């Protein structure tokens, strides 16, 4: 049950956490005006594989970081932009890259010694 609650929390944190940004002076705030599209794909794949129900909160955080650090950045303002400008072939390639990166990250997370926090 905790896994089901954790995924929306991670998604909210990734997309809405306010941090100081050099762009704030121009009335644009990073994290709320733009985001990395791969974050959405990674979280969607984690949910599809049911990893959010199998891993602890610490393992989920590590898994997200390790996976995203293997992927290129693809910043957008609105998810709807991707519907119009992303070809099926490119989306399939991106999803394949997410699956491969997630697998490698999962191996690292599962091989790490367990911690109690």
Of the chain, the end-to-end C-alpha distance in Å amounts to 18
Q: Is the pLDDT of residue 45 over 70?
A: yes
Give the model's pLDDT for residue 4.
47
CA distances from 15 to 9, 11, 90, 92, 115 (A): 10, 6, 23, 23, 27
Whole-angstrom distance, CA of residue 101 vs CA of residue 41: 11
Whole-angstrom distance, CA of residue 114 vs CA of residue 106: 14
Whole-angstrom distance, CA of residue 117 vs CA of residue 59: 10
Give the model's pLDDT for residue 63.
97
Report the Cα 110 to chain-centroid distance in Å: 18
Name the residue ranges covered by the structural domains of the chain: 35-111
31: left (phi over 0), alpha (psi -120 to 50) or beta: left
Quick one: what percent of the chain has pLDDT higher than 70?
71
Quick one: what percent of the chain has pLDDT higher than 90?
54
Strands (E), 1-117: 35-36, 75-76
Give the model's pLDDT for residue 38.
95
Question: Average pLDDT, stretch 65-91?
Answer: 90
């Amino acid at each position: 049950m905790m896994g089901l609650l954790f995924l929306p929390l991670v998604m909210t944190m990734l997309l809405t956490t306010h941090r100081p940004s050099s762009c704030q002076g121009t009335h644009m705030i990073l994290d709320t005006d733009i985001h990395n599209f791969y974050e959405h794909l990674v979280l969607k794949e984690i949910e599809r594989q049911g990893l959010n129900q199998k891993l602890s909160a610490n393992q989920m955080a590590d898994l997200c970081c390790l996976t995203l650090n293997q992927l290129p950045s693809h910043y957008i303002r609105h998810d709807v932009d991707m519907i119009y400008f992303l070809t099926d072939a490119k989306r399939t390639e991106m999803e394949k890259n997410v699956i491969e990166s997630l697998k490698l990250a999962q191996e690292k997370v599962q091989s790490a010694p367990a911690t109690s926090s």
